[in-house]
A and B are shown apart, each in its own frame.
Chain A
């Protein structure tokens, strides 16, 4: 603002006028700028933290009678979540001689990701193909695109060769563990999973490992 005044005046009295205005209109803006940038930094830092997102999760209905859900198919695995972030798994049905395998939440070769990717390889590959195909689709409407994509992925994930995963959390397991497993399931494109309560036999096996 102060600078605009510079060109003013004109004519014979130019020199005198200029000097007079110069001394009165120039304000030191430095403190204001300091404050402005301080506030700016503060708001930038506080506003961009922690973007919340949602993870879809479905839970099964309570079984009408006392019969437990039996999904002990050949291509099923059960994940057991224990205390202190411990996680174990076993394939198929639980028999007394079955050994629980230890796993973790990392993407290493002992991790859940490796376990899931072996069992769900066919579906995973199909999903990758679908994703590659989807890039070439030419639907004008996003809603049409979404519904077709959803339908196709549902078809693949619900297919016969999809891995069935049963997640069972101990009383002492933390909520984070459950979300981590669900996240791994989503990464591995596993659509057939269910979160249910642990049976006493499984609890006994888990306790025996301590």
Chain B
């Protein structure tokens, strides 16, 4: 490195480019790493050699080790509508602020009667909250309600988007925007619990799923 001017008496090295690079990388990793919000449920998904990317729009049902079910949908617009319609059904009113909070939330696993309280918890309290899971028994199948309601709102949203694209004469990729159904279960979860969730979907005539797995090298 002959270009660097060395001070006569001190052996110091010019660290500026290195620091520049280090901070650039720090900034990059910080921005890309903090995108994902904390989930209320930690799930250790099984590994698989499949390398299909996760779809853009999906309903996610997470099942933890004990078989507790959590629900999430990616589309925030649909989230708000679903909350309102579910609230009407169960006779709970949500304020504008609560709706916005709910839209920004990730998965949740609380029965509808506790949802209002859960939404208003602070982030740190939410992390400590022991979620009882969304009820899935046949007498009060709230998971089915969430899935069905989200699915119908998503479909109507999709149709209006397509119509809008049509009027503007733009191409609308229906296949890419289609709603997928993802199930993320813990590797140790009993299969019966997963089966129960799958049955809720198949009762609604939904048969194809994206099972969320982690990458594994082929042996």
Contact = CB atoms under 8 A, between A and B. Distances in A.
B22 A53 contact: no
A206 interface: no
B204 to A, nearest CB: 11
A50 interface: yes
Interface string A1-39: 101001100000000000000100010010011001101
Given A52-B54, A107-B219, A186-B50, A175 B209 contact: no
Contacts of A22: 7
Contact of B30 (A43, A172, A175): A43
Contacts of B19: 29, 32-33, 36
Nearest to B189: A175
Main secondary structure of the interface of B (DSSP, over half): mixed
B37 interface: no
B194 A40 contact: no
A183 interface: yes
B46 A180 contact: yes
A153 interface: no
Interface string B30-69: 1011000000000001101111111100000001000000
Given A1-B16, A47-B33, A54 B53 contact: yes
B158 interface: no
A33 B16 contact: no
B185 interface: yes
B14 interface: yes
B198 interface: yes
Interface in A40-61: 40, 43-44, 46-47, 50-61
Given A43-B26, A175-B187, A176-B188, A55 B207 contact: no
B214 interface: yes
A37 to B, nearest CB: 6
A55 B49 CA distance: 9
Given A3-B14, A175-B191, A55 B29 contact: no
B202 interface: yes
Contacts of B4: 3
Contacts of A58: 207-209
B18 interface: yes
Contact of A54 (B18, B33, B54, B207): B54
B121 interface: no
A49 B50 CA distance: 17
A36 B24 CA distance: 10
Interface of A: 1, 3, 6-7, 22, 26, 29, 32-33, 36-37, 39-40, 43-44, 46-47, 50-62, 81, 106-107, 169-180, 182-183, 186-187, 197
Interface of B: 4-5, 7, 12, 14-16, 18-19, 22-23, 25-26, 29-30, 32-33, 45-46, 48-55, 63, 182, 185-195, 198, 201-203, 205, 207-216, 218-219
